[in-house]
Copies of this chain bind each other. A is one copy, B any other.
Amino acid sequence: MWSLEQVAEHNSPASCWVIIKSGVYDVTDFLQEHPGGAKIILKYAGRDATSAYEPIHPPDALEKNLPPSKHLGPLSDIAAKFVAHEQENRKKTKDEARVEKAQLERPPLGRILSLADMEAVARKVLSHKAEAYYSSAADDHITVTENARAFSRFFFHPRVMRPVGKCDASTTILGFKSSIPVFVSGAALAKLGHPLGEVNIAKGARTTSIIQMVSSNASMSPAEIIAAAAPSQPLFFQLYKNADDTVAEKRVREIERLGYKAICLTVDAVIPGNREKDVKSPWVIEDLERGSPQVHVEGQGEDDGDTIFGTAGALIVNDDRNMTWEKTIPWLRSVTTLPIVIKGVQCVEDAVLAAEAGVDGVLLSNHGGRQLEYSLPPLEVLYKLRKQRPDVFDKVEVYIDGGVQRGTDVLKALCLGATAVGLGRAFLYAQSAYGESGVVKIVRILEREIITAMRGLGAASVKDLKPEMIERVDWEPLPRARL
């Protein structure tokens, strides 16, 4: 039972204690191991760190990373009450006040007609930090933008006079049934946008019978998330492989034991992308509070670069940067019986190598434009794959993610041979705006749009979607209108 005064004494790198949810922890030795760097912890040395810790760590993070001897025990009741009281009476930041107002002004869910409508609401109700993390992408946001624009270069050759009275958009992914050819692609830190985070998505996926791929970097633990799912509901796991094979194996075996149905190995994020919007976000908030921007003082050195990888960098600091087709795939096969998907293939050559490596699925993805700027849009890679190596589609299931906004986008990928299409940010936005109902809503919207477009195309089932129904045009349509 600790008093605040006692904790406050340990406020330096030499001895650094923090309070998290009324517990006191000695993180002195852990400072150098913290994936997010020592600096961010030291900001809270000797005091309560709960509000910074909670939205971006799974509940079991302390348990996993800190030896029991460093769990120093609870605050005294008075201290705990005082901390809670302080937290409650704390003056709201300008950004918090803005968010609170935006929450009250959300339109009724029935007025959300499209994923763009949903994103617009989410962008308003998210904290600046969350909005920056979700929307940020590599360098100048070329890739994230081009991922979406790529769809606009593909037009349909719709077929008429085909019976579409009955129209079925369901499919299977790695043998698991999905109500529409859409899945939740792995995306981190859902709790940044909503306290129920990834569980909102799991429950929405349950209601609508689609498949969720859970990220290694989720803000909730894999166990917590799958616990929210129905018994028979299939969930996949997006693996960021640890550089240490033993650590990685332990993780994979835990995932299989928890009941996840596939392992999606992330190969396009061995180091963090350069996401400036995310990196700049704390400065924006500081300047907003201060009322004016911070200025340069000559003679002071540069920043130590501690923050330049932003939120993203912290998440993957221990990941394996030396994976190879020859070494890593056989290793993964040796530690799990689950189907394996390679997530992050970005060119035809690697799709072929993946198929030859005997995996079960290939997810063409450039990480939503968050990693390498000017990585070719996944839809363009899919198009090349269809033209250059159609045999690959017979060997593995192929998926894409990145830039999908409409039912027609989904159908374009399917016409070119994709089994299904993943969305990441869309689900983060939906749960941020309306929780579980938001998740359900966007699946319903996509379902309606997919069925409408299939009928317009003359397709009564996903099998009827063919490469000859689509054409890559040589002009660029104007941007989508905001109505």
Q: Which residues of A pack against B, CB within 8 Å?
A: 104-111, 113-114, 116, 136, 139-142, 145-146, 149, 152-165, 243, 267-268, 270-274, 276-277, 279-280, 283, 293-297, 300, 302-303, 305, 308, 321-325, 328, 342, 344-350, 353, 366, 371-376, 380, 406, 408, 412, 434, 437, 441, 448-449, 452-453, 455-457, 471, 473-478, 480-481, 483
A253 to chain B, nearest CB (A): 22
A279: chain B residues at CB < 8 Å are 113
A141: chain B residues at CB < 8 Å are 480-481, 483
A109: chain B residues at CB < 8 Å are 296, 302-303
- Out of B113, B325, B453, B471, name the residue touching A276 (CB < 8 Å): B113
Copies of chain A in the complex: 4
Bound-state Cα–Cα, A111 to B279, Å: 9
Instruction: Report whether A296 and B108 are in contact in the complex, using a CB–CB cutoff of 8 Å.
Output: yes
**Which chain B residue lies CB-closest to A300?**
B108
A165: chain B residues at CB < 8 Å are 243, 321-322
A186 to chain B, nearest CB (A): 16
Bound-state Cα–Cα, A355 to B26, Å: 66
Bound-state Cα–Cα, A142 to B294, Å: 36
Bound-state Cα–Cα, A142 to B322, Å: 44
A46 to chain B, nearest CB (A): 25
- Out of B154, B158, B342, name the residue touching A372 (CB < 8 Å): B158
A-B contacts, 27 listed (Cβ < 8 Å):
A107-B296, A108-B300, A113-B308, A139-B449, A140-B481, A142-B477, A152-B374, A155-B374, A155-B375, A157-B346, A158-B268, A159-B349, A159-B350, A160-B267, A160-B268, A160-B350, A161-B323, A163-B321, A163-B322, A163-B323, A270-B455, A271-B455, A273-B452, A274-B448, A302-B437, A372-B452, A375-B456
A345: chain B residues at CB < 8 Å are 160
Given contacts A107-B294, A408-B139, contact A324 B277 (CB under 8 A): no
Instruction: Report whether B140 and A480 are in contact in the complex, using a CB–CB cutoff of 8 Å.
Output: yes
Instruction: Report whether A374 and B408 are in contact in the complex, using a CB–CB cutoff of 8 Å.
Output: yes
A29 to chain B, nearest CB (A): 25
Instruction: Report whether B449 and A105 are in contact in the complex, using a CB–CB cutoff of 8 Å.
Output: no
Instruction: Report whether A114 and B374 are in contact in the complex, using a CB–CB cutoff of 8 Å.
Output: no
A457: chain B residues at CB < 8 Å are 372
Instruction: Report whether B452 and A271 are in contact in the complex, using a CB–CB cutoff of 8 Å.
Output: yes
A302: chain B residues at CB < 8 Å are 109-110, 437, 441
Instruction: Report whether A481 and B145 are in contact in the complex, using a CB–CB cutoff of 8 Å.
Output: yes
A163: chain B residues at CB < 8 Å are 321-324
A322: chain B residues at CB < 8 Å are 163-165
- Out of B164, B243, B321, B353, name the residue touching A455 (CB < 8 Å): B321
Given contacts A321-B165, A372-B156, A455-B271, contact A105 B295 (CB under 8 A): yes
Nearest 5 A-B pairs (CB), nearest first? A110-B303, A372-B456, A140-B480, A157-B347, A163-B322
**Which chain B residue lies CB-closest to A157?**
B347
Instruction: Report whether A155 and B376 are in contact in the complex, using a CB–CB cutoff of 8 Å.
Output: yes
Instruction: Report whether A372 and B453 are in contact in the complex, using a CB–CB cutoff of 8 Å.
Output: yes
Known: A113-B276, A113-B279. 15 other contacts (CB 8 A): A108-B295, A108-B296, A114-B139, A116-B140, A136-B483, A158-B347, A159-B350, A161-B324, A164-B271, A273-B452, A274-B452, A276-B483, A371-B456, A373-B406, A373-B408
**Which chain B residue lies CB-closest to A346?**
B158
Bound-state Cα–Cα, A366 to B268, Å: 36
- Out of B149, B161, B295, B452, name the residue touching A478 (CB < 8 Å): B149
**Which chain B residue lies CB-closest to A113?**
B276
A283: chain B residues at CB < 8 Å are 111
Q: Interface centre among A141, A153, A325, A374, by most B CB within 10 Å? A: A374
A406: chain B residues at CB < 8 Å are 139-140, 373
Instruction: Report whether A156 and B321 are in contact in the complex, using a CB–CB cutoff of 8 Å.
Output: no
A277: chain B residues at CB < 8 Å are 483
A443 to chain B, nearest CB (A): 12
Bound-state Cα–Cα, A441 to B305, Å: 11
A380: chain B residues at CB < 8 Å are 473
A273 to chain B, nearest CB (A): 7
